[in-house]
Structures are given as C-alpha cells and as structure tokens.
Amino acid sequence: MGRSPRGPLLALVLACSVAPLKSTEAHWIAKNADAVAVGRFSDFQITPLRSNVYAQLEPGWRLTGTLLVDESLFGPISNGARLPYEWDCRRCPTPSHSARDMLKRNGLWFIRRLNGRWASAGSEIGDPGYRLISEREFFATYLRERSKTSESSK
C-alpha cells in the first residue's frame, strides 16, 4: 500500500489539535520541554531543507523565527522574551496556509535548547511543539506537579 503525501501534514495537524487519550501520553511533550511559553511567532521564515551534500534539496522544510513570549509557564525564560527558534520538518510537504496561520496565533509552545537556539520539544517528525491555548490548564496542572517534584528531590 502506498504512503499518502499528506501523511506528515495530517500528523502535524493532529499533533497540534488532538489530545491523546492517556494522560501520560499527553504529557510527554511537557516532560521533554526545557521551557513552556504562551506566545506567537514574529519574523518567521519557512524555507526548503538542503542536505549537506552538494547543497541539494531534501524533502521537508525549516522554520526559523522569533518566538515572542507573552507568558512563561515553565523553565528559564521570562515574560516578554524574544527567543530565536528553529525547527526542521523532515519529509513533510510544504506547510499549508492554515499551518502558517498557526504561527501568528497565540498558543502553547513546548521548547528545548538545541545548539544555542530554541527548538521544538516535540517528536522528530511533524511536531513543531505547538499546542492550542485551550489546552493551557491541562498542561499547567502537569507543570505545577513537575515543579513540585523537582523541588522536593533537591
């Protein structure tokens, strides 16, 4: 059976809008994040990926830009911060207009430090680290518990 070229884009949309059934599955991105912020993007660019071999194009694209932090929910970032962000979506089709619109809206961003920049704390393929703002309380509850646990283990 052939693989649909829409598969990675569908995975991106589902990852950003559907909460998994089990709590432990839903919290995996928060567990992997160095920081969590409410924010949106500014000055973002979406460009094709290039391999290191003869600068050839490879399937996928790179998102670079600045994440404007309205509110820090967890981690070593402060309200009002402007964080350089970079994420490669390998084997993904060019993002749709609705995916680009997502970058302009406030949402929850789960990020981790990578090579001096901030990147998605999501999976390697198809997850930019964005979740809907409507999921804020769900993740805030988990992050409060995570903070209590890390403080009590000191």
pLDDT tens for each residue of the chain, 154 residues long? 444 444 443 344 444 444 433 455 678 899 999 999 999 988 888 888 876 665 566 678 888 999 999 999 999 999 999 999 998 887 777 777 667 777 889 999 999 998 888 999 987 667 889 999 999 999 999 998 887 776 666 6
Tell me 16's DSSP state.
Answer: H
**Could you give the CA distance from residue 118 to residue 115 in angstroms, rounded to a whole number?**
8
How far CA 21 is from CA of 2, 18, 97, 146, in Å, comes to: 28, 9, 28, 20
Contact 135, 19 (CB under 8 A): yes
The amino acid that residue 13 corresponds to is V
The structure tokens 């988990």 sit at 142
79 is a domain residue: yes
Per the structure, the complete domain to which residue 15 belongs is given by 7-152
Most distant pair of Cα atoms in the chain: their distance: 52
19 is a domain residue: yes
2 is a domain residue: no
